[in-house]
Amino acid sequence: MSRITISKLQAMKSAGEKISSITAYDASFARLFDEAGMHVMLIGDSLGMVLQGQSDTLPVTIDDVAYHTRCVRSGASKALIIGDMPFMTYASPEQAYDNAAKLMRAGANMVKVEGGEWLYETIEGLVQRSVPVCGHLGLTPQAVNVFGGFKVQGRDSEQAQQIIDQAVKLEQAGIQLLVLECIPAELAKTISQTLTIPVIGIGAGKDTDGQILVMHDALGISFSKIPKFSRNFLAETGNISDAIALYIDEVTHGRFPGEEHSFK
């Protein structure tokens, strides 16, 4: 596999080729994922839960993500690397610029932010300053206290239209990739067909341009309950390398996620 760039992901969407993505936090797993042909690795603020044992992602700092980004970059030479911007590290455009620079210097190719219209100015500013941006809509874990828990979003028509409108405006602001989390499969399909940029789903059905899972969920080693939208690929294969190969193959051929991993 040649080195993955944003333009390569765009070409994959245009060709109808599925994008495989996973979270990563260290050099050893990053190398394994890279050698298996994983297109995208996200250093997610999910590290607060799966590595630090927190109940949510809010305690994670920008230095935490920068540290793990350097580790992943050391192990991955081909995959596109996305660094998550943690809670309240992009509350203002100027703060976002400083913190995005930390992640890009640590080895990220792109940064990810959660939210809609309040971010448009920040996204425009980041892109103008040569920082590629990935958006994140639907269930945005940093807003867990606003949502009252980890709940599926966009089930009523008004909220669904709001998510569509926000996705369009985020693309206009300059994002080059969008993550949709825990929304109905039909809504995710509509957004994926509406946007020209690649859309990556997690709990968003099979019709997005690609999929992402938290690596601990995909390997069945999370100490919390495995989400409905995930699948234990390690239990099906017996070793980690085969589990990751199976995950990539199932995404590539549109067999994962199935209806049992999706929301209506």
Q: Which residue has the tokens 């589990």?
A: 243
Count of residues in the chain: 264
Provide the annotated active-site residues: 181
**Separation of alpha carbons 181 and 147, rounded Å:** 13
pLDDT at residue 138 in the model? 96
pLDDT tens-digit series, residues 127-174: 999 999 999 999 888 877 776 666 789 999 999 999 999 999 999 999
- 70: confidence class by pLDDT, cuts 50, 70, 90: very high
pLDDT at residue 145 in the model? 72
pLDDT at residue 151 in the model? 77
Q: Which residue has the tokens 């070409």?
A: 11
pLDDT tens-digit series, residues 181-192: 999 999 999 999
Residues 6+ apart with CB under 8 A from 98: none
Higher pLDDT, 193 or 2: 193
Per the annotation, binding residues are: 45-46, 84, 112, 114
Question: From the CA atom positions of the chain, what is the Rg in Å?
Answer: 17
Amino acid at position 167, single letter: A
For 6-261, CATH number out of 3.90.220.20, 1.10.8.50, 3.40.228.10, 3.20.20.60 equals 3.20.20.60
Per the annotation, binding residues for Mg(2+) are: 45, 84, 114
pLDDT at residue 79 in the model? 98
Report domain extents, the chain. Answer: 6-261
**Separation of alpha carbons 257 and 86, rounded Å:** 27
| pTM summary value | 0.96
pLDDT at 106 exceeding the cut of 90: yes
φ, ψ of residue 109 in degrees (nearest 5): -95, -10
φ, ψ of residue 228 in degrees (nearest 5): -55, -35
Count CB neighbours of 255 within 10 A.
Answer: 11
The percentage of the chain sitting over the pLDDT mark of 90, rounded to a whole number, equals 91
Sign of the Cα torsion 75, 77, 80, 83 reads positive
